[in-house]
Amino acid sequence: MTDALPDVPAERRPRHIAIIMDGNGRWAERRGLPRIEGHRRGVASVRRTVEEAARLHIEQLTLYCLSSENWKRPPHELEFLMHLLEQYMIEERKTIMDENIRVAVIGRRDGLPEATLREIDKTIELSATNTGTRLCLAINYGGRAELLDAVKRIAAKVRDGKLDPAALSEQTIADYLYTAGMPEPDLLIRTAGEMRISNFLLWQISYAEIWVTEHCWPEFSDADLRAAIRDFARRDRRFGGLNA
């Protein structure tokens, strides 16, 4: 297969790309369409982006699908989002297996419909031994909630005498996050021109490079993803220090 990024050597590419998929509703409203049509078109962008990430051998792609704050949206929109998620898990299984993609989900399960959870769990189980790109979906996810859940688990271990407070480290916290065992994002992409983090991977993106596009998520293309990777490859990542 021809490499779509021959000008970017593998060692300059991000291991882990995280994306805040924003602008589905705005994309639809600008075209006089219902907001749910924007979400429907957004699924096509998910499909394209996942397949392109797999072709580029990106180790992990994390997509912000549903935040814990999104429950404030109208019930009919939330119901449609759950339907789309369930449908995606069913319809994309063949592609996921053919492309050797491993699926993971982070976030709280509370409030998600049983039927949706059942299809998510089935896809995770079927793809568990795949060795290609890990597709991590953040569903009912909030960065503060993740940190709170980690603190509670750590506190319980300390209370039970299974963890010494003096031995706590940054790695300890990382080990109790939803993303335990995953690499931290190298590149954070946000669509629709928004310049916010929106409670996404607050701990994990400490040193991530940020790339923002004015394109709404339904417009996000393979070319946008490659442009973000090229821009990332040109950046000088010092992690607080100085390069020689």
- What are the residue numbers of the active site? 22, 70
β strands within the chain, DSSP E: 16-20, 60-67, 102-106, 134-141, 187-190, 209-212
β strands within 50-152, DSSP E: 60-67, 102-106, 134-141
**Cα gap 4→90, rounded to integer Å:** 28
Phi, psi angle pair for 38, to nearest 5°: -65, -40
**Cα gap 127→129, rounded to integer Å:** 6
Tokens in use for 109? Answer: 């399960």
